[in-house]
Amino acid sequence: MQTLLEIPRRMEVITEYKGRGGRVAAVFPIHYPRALFRAFDILPVEVWGPPKVEARHGEAHLQSYTCSIVRGGLSFILSGGLDVADFIVVPHACDSLQGLGSILIDFIKPDKPVLPIYIPRGARESDINFLAEEFSSVFARLAEASSRSPSDSEMMEAIEREEKADRFLGEVFQLRMRLPFSDREFYRLVRAREYLPGERFIELAQGALSQVNGDPRPGIPILLSGIVPEPMEILNAIARMGGVVAADDFACSGRRLYPAGSSPEPRRRMAESILLGPPDSTRGSPIEERIGHLRRRVDVSGARGVVFYNIKFCEPELFYLPSLRKGLKDAGIPSVVVEVEIGERLSHQVKTSLETFMEVIA
């Protein structure tokens, strides 16, 4: 396999962006308007429960059954890991994240604005209107904090740039099996979308796509579903067992292959893009849509089974899990569930479950 293109680290990108006068927003999962922040010259950098953070800093403020993304994220804040950020953004993707937003606003009160974003649980006309209004509120907060007010034309310019980056992300996913990268290298590439400016991600994606070849990568094809591929050790384990990740249903990546919006009004256009994206448990998508989406992804990719790579205590995923597995079973698609904590190594139990599953579907 070829060596993946050079991908800068988060802190390198942050330092460079701030060095030229830009600001940075630390953004918690999952859905938010990238273009809105970029129109204010604010770089959104996502926080997915940094894996090397000492979780004890946040445990005094959270229940023991809070997911490790939130526990790790709060610990990161309290240990100074987000001091470089100018804003903290907390979309309400679940009860734990909503609780985190409340803790930051009402109790801990960091020395920077905390911006909550309420994501509706549907994609009806009323939901799109609601989210557009949410984005208007965020716009007002950013305008107040920055003394700037981007015009609609400036907003649309930022939106079109991010839509272009999303198109390239979709193409990378579509051609993933013909890219000469390991699964771990592939996820380093697509997860660079979490912090690279859209224009730089486009360049990175173009460089990767220039290496597409005609031979699909060998291995037992599987679909990975969950919130985020952390710890990334799972990808090495799959490769050692002869597997290859042929399809993706992660909230951090595959569920954020957003279509372009159609409205000429910037805030509504961003709302359309998010709410018309792939079905997602954190947006309350109907179970039937989630089942149908997984079945289609399996059919298109040729995956022989689905691995649900779940973060412990992730309520949105756990709520859907029994119905999703039944829907897959009814379609003759085997699945397995493994549960992990961000920041911990894969347990022997997880490796054994995964190895047994791979032997069954081989």
Whether pLDDT at 2 is above 50: no
Measured between alpha carbons, how far is 337 from 248 in angstroms, rounded to an integer?
15
pTM of the model: 0.93
Provide mean pLDDT across the span 226-255.
95
pLDDT above 70 as % of the chain: 98
Determine, yes or no, domain membership for 190: no
DSSP letter for each residue of 73-131: HHHHHHTTTTTT-SEEEEE-SSHHHHHHHHHIIIII--SS-EEEEPPPSS-SHHHHHHH
Share of the chain above pLDDT 90, in %: 87
* SS3 state at 259: coil
Average pLDDT of span 71-91: 93
User: For the residues 336-355, what does the mean pLDDT come to?
Assistant: 91
Residue 188 placed within a domain: no
For residue 6, name the pLDDT band (cuts at 50, 70, 90).
Answer: confident
User: Do the domain assignments include residue 200?
Assistant: no
Let me know if residue 352 belongs to a domain. no
Q: Do the strands 87-91 and 42-46 form a parallel or antiparallel pair, or are they unpaired?
A: unpaired
The pLDDT of residue 344 is 84
What's the chain's average pLDDT? 94
List 102's β-bridge partners, or say none.
Answer: none
Question: What is the rounded average pLDDT of the residues 347-362?
Answer: 94
Do residues 104 and 120 make contact, with C-beta atoms less than 8 angstroms apart?
A: no
In DSSP terms, 222 is beta-bridged to 245
DSSP string for 135-185: HHHHHHHHHHHHT----HHHHHHHHHHHHHHHHHHHHHHHTGGGSSS-HHH
On the question of pLDDT at 77 being above 80, the answer is: yes
65-79, 86-100, 247-261: least confident range: 65-79
What number is the average pLDDT over the span 137-154? 96
What Cα–Cα distance (Å) separates residue 18 from each residue in 41, 47, 79, 187, 197? 10, 18, 21, 26, 12
Q: What is the pLDDT of residue 1?
A: 43
Looking at 45-54, 94-103, 251-260, which range is the least confident one?
Answer: 45-54
44 lies in which domain range? 10-150
Q: What pLDDT score does 342 carry? A: 86
pLDDT in tens, 201-217: 999 999 999 999 888 99
CATH number of the domain where residue 85 is located: 3.40.50.11890
Burial-class residue 7 by CB neighbours within 10 Å (0-12, 13-18, 19+).
Answer: middle
Q: Tally Cβ neighbours within 10 Å of residue 349.
A: 10
Q: Is 227 helix (H, G, I), strand (E, B) or coil?
A: coil
Q: Is residue 48 part of a domain?
A: yes
> CB–CB of 67/91 below 8 Å?
no
Q: Looking at residue 344, what DSSP letter applies?
A: S
Closest CA to 242 of 114, 357, 337: 357
Residue 19 lies in a domain: yes
Query: Does residue 22 lie within any of the structural domains?
Result: yes
pLDDT surpassing 90 at residue 177? yes
Give domain status of residue 314, yes or no.
no
pLDDT in tens, 215-228: 899 999 999 999 99
* pLDDT above 60: residue 3: no
Looking at the structure of the chain, the number of domains it has is 1
